[in-house]
Amino acid sequence: MRRQAMAAALGVMAALGAPEKAQAYDIDCAIMLCMAGGFPPSTVCARAYRTMIRRITPWPSLPPFGVCTFAHVPVELGGPGGEGELDTNLPEYEWLNRTHVIWFTGRSYEPRDEPRQWDWSIRSCDRENRTCRYIQRVYGSHTPWPATFISESGQEIAYPTGGGLWHFYSRSIMVEFGDYEGNMGHSEWFSY
C-alpha cells in the first residue's frame, strides 16, 4: 500500500514538476525538425504545425518558433544548462535562414464615380518578424490581384483569394520554409 501511495505521489510530482520548460523546448525543436522535413504526416509534426500557426496569426505575431539548442536544456532535465546561442550562420542551418513569414493584405472598393479598384500588398519577413520587405505593393489597380506571385525564394505561390468582385477585404498570413536538402515549401494561407 505504501509503494502504491509513493508511486502515485511521484506520478503527480512528475506531471506537475518541470515539464513546462521541457514542453517549450520540445515544441520549438519539433517545429524546426518537422519544418526541415516538410512537416511529414505524424502526430508530433501536426502538433508542431498547429503551434507554429498559432504563434504567427495574432497581431503582433510571435516568431514561428524559439531557439532549439541542447545548450539551453536545464541540468535537471539532463542538459548542460548553459547559455549558449545557436549560430544560425553555419552552413547546416541555411534551411532555417530561408524561413519567411509572408503577409497578404488586399481590398476592393469603388471610388465615387469611378470603376472598381483593387489594392494589395505582399510583405515577407524573416523568421523572427524583425526584418520585413515588400515583395509587391499595388494601389488603385483596375484589375484584381493576379492568381500567383513569386516569393523571395523563387517559389510561385497562389494568392489567398482570386480577388473577385465579392472580395472586399482580405488579410492572410503563411510561412515559407526550406528543408535541409534545399527544397522549398510553404504552409497554407490563414486568414485573420
pLDDT in tens, the chain (192 residues): 444 443 443 343 334 343 334 344 467 778 878 877 888 888 888 888 888 888 877 766 666 666 565 555 555 555 555 555 556 667 766 777 778 889 999 998 888 888 989 999 999 988 777 788 999 999 999 998 899 999 988 899 999 865 445 558 888 888 888 877 778 888 888 877
User: Both 134 and 60 in a single domain?
Assistant: no
C-alpha cell read off for 19: 515539464
Determine the Cα–Cα distance for residues 168 and 182; give it in Å rounded to an integer.
37
Q: Would residue 83 count as lying in a domain?
A: yes
Pair 69, 104 in one domain: no
Q: Domain check: are 103 and 174 in the same one?
A: yes
What is the reported pLDDT for 44?
A: 85
User: What pLDDT does 192 receive?
Assistant: 72
User: Which of 34, 60, 87 is the C-terminal boundary of a domain?
Assistant: 87
Q: What is the dihedral sign for C-alpha 132, 107, 139, 154? A: positive
pLDDT for res 163: 47
* Phi then psi dihedrals of residue 99, to 5 deg: -75, 130
Q: Which of 58, 87, 116 is the last residue of a domain?
A: 87
Q: Is residue 125 part of a domain?
A: yes
Q: How many domains does the chain have?
A: 2
Please tell me whether residues 9 and 49 are part of one structural domain: yes
Instruction: Please answer whether residues 63 and 127 qualify as being in contact, where contact means their C-beta atoms are separated by less than 8 angstroms.
Output: yes
Domain span holding position 152? 97-191
pLDDT score at 135: 93
Pair 76, 102 in one domain: no
One domain for residues 106 and 146:
yes
Does 183 reside within a domain? yes
Q: Does any domain span residue 170?
A: yes
Residues 101 and 186 both lie in one domain: yes
Does residue 92 lie within any of the structural domains? no
H-helix or E-strand containing 56?
Answer: helix 43-56
**Domain boundary, last residue among 28, 63, 87:** 87
Q: Are residues 59 and 122 in the same domain?
A: no
Q: What is the pLDDT of residue 148?
A: 93
- Assigned domain for 21 exists: yes
CB 177 within 8 A of CB 99: yes
